[in-house]
């Protein structure tokens, strides 16, 4: 049995190697794509992370492939339909950082609301503690936050928001009315959430059906001067529409840990949003704590061992 791990730094490799005795394990720090897939051409099991590209072209290079384990919750970097047609199982890590990502959501929001980046830069430039007018922020207290997607992460965001004494509105295809009652918030339609919220934060999974959930048609429905936070999936937001809304002042600012053109960074492309002063952008790092990383590794090992034993778990349907 041969297992190929991609996107694993050298100091993390020993953990996986030590808990998978009796199999041949190969590690690569690179992401898997059409250029690097030849490194794993004999693999029976493939283990990847978020920037790897597992499509028809890469899968076809691995004739022995039987199982793909992604160390992520999302799996839109994998052509699951093609894998299924080749009788290849795919597993993910369904929950590892519901608190982790929720906390990071508020890190982005507070950076925007209190202009922390600008304030830090001002003290470096001025060399003293004078306070420029440009660094005045706003309170979260009594503001309305619209939470799009109320799975585990969305629910944690709501509970944190209630701690800030924020009003909460939510949108979800499958509302949890008991949770809403216990946490004193209301479910609304998506247009209502967009038009009534001071901050909109996205926590929905990415599917073909919600591609560009925020788009050219509905971005004008945002409450003027609202903020958008996205720690979910970049493909939920039409980047062109968001750029337009920021330029026109429809949206006052954005905190983005994900972007649909993330691979443009890898390819050396230019992303206009990166240059906007009212945009905070981070490199898909909302998950990135020691605790969450351990939970990801632990669940991934369980997924691989379960497949090898003939009882696969956490399969992507």
What pLDDT is attached to residue 76?
87
The Cα–Cα gap between 26 and 48 comes to 12
Domains of the chain, each with CATH number or no CATH: 2-96+290-308 (3.40.50.720), 98-281 (3.40.50.720)
SS3 label, residue 312 = coil
Known active-site residue 295: no
User: Does residue 90 carry a pLDDT above 90?
Assistant: yes
Report helix, strand and coil shares of the chain as percent, to nearest 5.
40, 20, 45
Rounded to an integer, the average pLDDT of 88-93 is: 97
Q: What is the DSSP letter of 268?
A: T
Q: 3-class DSSP state for residue 46?
A: strand
When pLDDT is cut at 50, 70 and 90, the band that residue 28 belongs to is: very high
Take residue 251 and report the two structure tokens written for it.
């949206």
The catalytically annotated residue of 71, 77, 203, 284 is 284
Q: What is the pTM of this model?
A: 0.87
Say whether 233 is catalytic.
yes
Question: Has 114 been annotated as catalytic?
Answer: no
Buried b (16+ CB within 10 A) or exposed e, 218-234: bbeebbeebbbbbbbbb
Catalytic one of 7, 71, 233, 260: 233
Phi first, then psi: what are they for 279, rounded to 5°? -125, 130
Residue-wise pLDDT tens digits, 58-86: 999 999 999 999 999 889 899 999 999 99
The 8 Å CB, 24+ separation contacts for 109-112 are 109/140, 109/199, 109/201, 109/227, 109/229, 109/255, 110/140, 111/255, 111/280, 112/227, 112/253, 112/254, 112/255, 112/278, 112/280
Among residues 7, 235, 260, 262, which one is catalytic? Answer: 262
Decide: residue 167, CB within 10 A, 0-12 exposed, 13-18 middle, 19+ buried: middle
pLDDT in tens, 215-273: 999 999 999 999 999 999 999 999 999 999 999 999 999 999 999 977 666 555 557 88
């Amino acid at each position: 049995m041969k297992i190929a791990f991609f996107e694993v730094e050298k100091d993390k490799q020993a953990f996986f190697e030590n808990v998978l005795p009796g199999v041949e394990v190969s590690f690569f720090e690179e992401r898997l794509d059409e250029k690097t897939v030849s490194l794993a051409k004999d693999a029976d099991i493939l283990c990847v992370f978020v920037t790897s590209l597992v499509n028809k072209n890469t899968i076809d290079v691995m004739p022995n492939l039987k199982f793909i384990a992604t160390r992520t919750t999302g799996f839109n970097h994998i052509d699951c339909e093609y894998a299924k047609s080749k009788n290849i199982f795919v597993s993910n890590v369904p929950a590892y950082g519901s608190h982790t990502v929720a906390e990071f959501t508020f890190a982005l929001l507070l950076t925007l609301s209190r202009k922390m980046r600008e304030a830090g830069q001002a003290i470096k430039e001025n060399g003293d503690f004078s306070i420029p007018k440009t660094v005045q922020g706003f309170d979260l207290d009594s503001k309305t936050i619209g939470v799009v997607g109320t799975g585990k992460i969305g629910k944690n965001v709501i509970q944190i928001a209630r701690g800030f004494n924020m009003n909460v509105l939510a949108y979800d295809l499958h509302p949890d009315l008991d949770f809403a009652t216990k946490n004193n918030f209301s479910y609304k339609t998506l247009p209502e959430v967009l038009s009534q919220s001071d901050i909109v934060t996205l926590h929905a999974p990415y599917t073909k059906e919600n591609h560009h959930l925020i788009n050219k048609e509905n971005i004008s429905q945002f409450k003027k001067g609202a903020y958008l936070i996205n720690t979910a999936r970049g493909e939920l937001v039409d980047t062109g529409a968001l750029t337009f809304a920021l330029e026109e002042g429809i949206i006052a600012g954005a905190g983005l840990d994900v972007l649909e053109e993330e691979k443009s960074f890898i390819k050396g492309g230019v992303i206009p949003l990166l240059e906007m002063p009212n945009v905070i952008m981070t490199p898909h790092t909302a998950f990135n704590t020691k605790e969450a990383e351990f939970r990801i590794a632990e669940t991934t090992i369980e997924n691989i061992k379960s497949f090898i034993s003939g009882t696969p778990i956490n399969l992507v349907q």
